[in-house]
Amino acid sequence: MKSLARAHTESCIRRIKGLAAQAESETVRLEANRVLLDRGWGKPASTTEHTGKDGGPITVRVVYGEEDD
């Protein structure tokens, strides 16, 4: 199934490119451009901010190998 879908990659990219340039709807043009950028450059990294319990520090513990308790 994956190989059958991939066989259409070139025509799909051409169609998306056409929509990005010529679609009547600005929403469709924006989405097509977003899809092209995501496929070409990857999706933007998402960030998460956390300040710890009650705004206090966050403790991170990295353990290599096995740990003795």
Integer Rg of the chain from CA: 22
| Residue at 67: amino acid letter | E
Share of the chain above pLDDT 90, in %: 61
pLDDT tens track for 11-38: 999 999 999 999 999 999 999 999 999 9
Mean pLDDT over 2-8 rounds to 94
- pTM higher than the cut 0.75: no
Angstrom distance (rounded) from CA 18 to CA 27: 14
Return the pLDDT at 67. Answer: 60
The answer to whether 17 touches 36, Cβ cutoff 8 Å, is yes
Q: What are phi and psi of 39, to 5 degrees?
A: -70, -35
Structure tokens at 65: 């190998």
Is pLDDT of 69 > 70? no
Residue showing tokens 């010529």: 22
